[in-house]
Amino acid sequence: MKLLNKIRSLSLGSTLALLFLTVLWSVPTVGLLITSLRRRDQAEVSPWWDALFNPLNQAWSIDAYSNSLNQGGMLESLVNTLVVTVPSVILPLLVAANAAFAFTFIEFKGREIYFAIIVGLMIIPLQSALIPVLRAMVAFQRATGLHLTGNFASAWIIHCSFALPLAIYILRNYMLSLPASLIEAARVDGASWYQIFWRLVMPMSIPALASFAIFQFLWVWNDYLIAFIFVGEQKSVMTYRLLRMLGQYGEGWQDVAAGSFISLILPLIIFFSLQRYFVRGLTAGAVK
């Protein structure tokens, strides 16, 4: 009995501590959310917690959201971000799945060494490759007249390439857990590697593909550097637009706050609906 009580009190203490921490962790986001929903004249003269403690005495409004979407250009940026993101998720998935398949099931010379190199490349900072790639693309443009920079294609290529090491690593880890006997049996039945990959391994790898897809989605969606350097101003994505709005203090916090939440909606939906896969992807990516 004594032990049981002790466990209970421990749990109560932990619950209170957790409650406090949750509130603490949520304050920054809640503060900005409330600000984005207040009328501008009020948000500028009183702090947001006034509105929180006295919600009935407030003029709530969604003006900031419509401002930010229309005049602020966030709607356009939302579309641009989507166009940058979706192919940047699909392409590396396909390319990495193929490579991971070869690394898992097909014997070839130097497999271990190549894989070690890929593991090493996982932590190479993006910055280390950007300038030469940008210059090569510009040279390519001059030579062929085909424009790679200033539009989405360059961002797709870069995001895809830089996602590959981690994607190959995660997918291979998962494929190693698939029953090898099944692949053996398919080989004996005369299936080609190509068939085994598409009919057997890809369908079985869907959980790992999903976790990586979520991970990559968030990464590309929230990226600033690549979008800034390779896509630039004409097709500005949301992070780019937000950073510029943030620089212009005169606009007031309202529009930037609303803009931030607009940029957050899709990631939050994906996060809360696919949390299981997300956590699994993280655990798989952590090199233990």
Partner 1 sequence: MNPLLSDILFGLIAIVIGTAVTLGLYWLLDRVVQKLPVKIRERVKSMGFLLPAATLLLLILVLPLLQTVVWSFMDKKAKKFVGLQNYIDLFSSADFLSVLLNNFLWILIVPAVTVGIGVIFANLSNNVGPTRERIFKSLIFMPMTISFVAASTIWGYIYVNPAQGRPKIGLLSAIVEFFGGTPQNWMQIDAGRLNSFLMMAIIVWLQVGYSMVIISAGIKAIPEETIEAARIDGANAFQLFFRVIVPQISATIMSVFVTVLILVMKIFDIILAMTGGNFNTNVLALEYYTQFIVFSNLGSASAVVTILLILIAPLMWLQIRTVRRAESMR
Q: Is 288 helix (H, G, I), strand (E, B) or coil?
A: coil
What is the per-residue binding string for partner 1 in 191-230, x denoting contact by CB under 8 A?
-xxx--x--------------------x--xxxxx---x-
Specify the stretch interacting with partner 1 by CB under 8 A; choose among 52-60, 62-70, 181-189, 190-198.
Answer: 190-198
Residue 205's φ and ψ, nearest 5 degrees, are -95, 5
The residue within the footprint of partner 1, chosen from 66, 119, 150, 210 (CB under 8 A), is 119
Q: Which C-beta is closer to partner 1: that of 28 or that of 179?
A: 28
Burial of 213 (0-12, 13-18, 19+ CB in 10 A): buried
Q: How far is it, in rounded angstroms, from Cα 221 to Cα 265?
A: 11
User: Contact between 32 and partner 1 (CB under 8 A)?
Assistant: yes
Question: Of 52, 62, 79, 139, which lies in the binding site for partner 1, with binding defined by CB under 8 A?
Answer: 79
CB of 9 to partner 1, least distance (A): 11
CA 150 to CA 238: how far, in whole Å?
A: 16
Our finding on whether 263 is near partner 1 (CB under 8 A) is: yes
Question: Is residue 264 within 8 Å of 78, Cβ to Cβ?
Answer: no
The answer to whether 174 contacts partner 1 (rule: CB under 8 A) is no
In angstroms, give the least distance from the CB of 7 to partner 1.
9
Does position 242 interact with partner 1 (CB under 8 A)? The reply is yes
Asked if residue 284 binds partner 1 (CB under 8 A), the reply is no
Using CB under 8 A as the binding rule, whether residue 70 contacts partner 1 is answered as: no
**Nearest Cα to Cα of residue 159 among 133, 138, 197, 132:** 133
Buried b / exposed e over 95-115, threshold 16 CB at 10 Å, is bbbbbbbbbbbeeeeeeeeeb
Least Å from the CB of residue 56 to partner 1? 20
- For residue 38, give the 3-state DSSP assignment: strand
254 binding partner 1? (CB under 8 A): no
Residues 222, 240: contact at Cβ < 8 Å?
no
Among 125, 145, 179, 250, binds partner 1 (CB under 8 A): 125
Among 48, 65, 212, 277, binds partner 1 (CB under 8 A): 48
Binding of partner 1 by 155 (CB under 8 A)? no
Residue 185 touches partner 1, criterion: CB under 8 A: no
Location of structure tokens 């190479």:
124
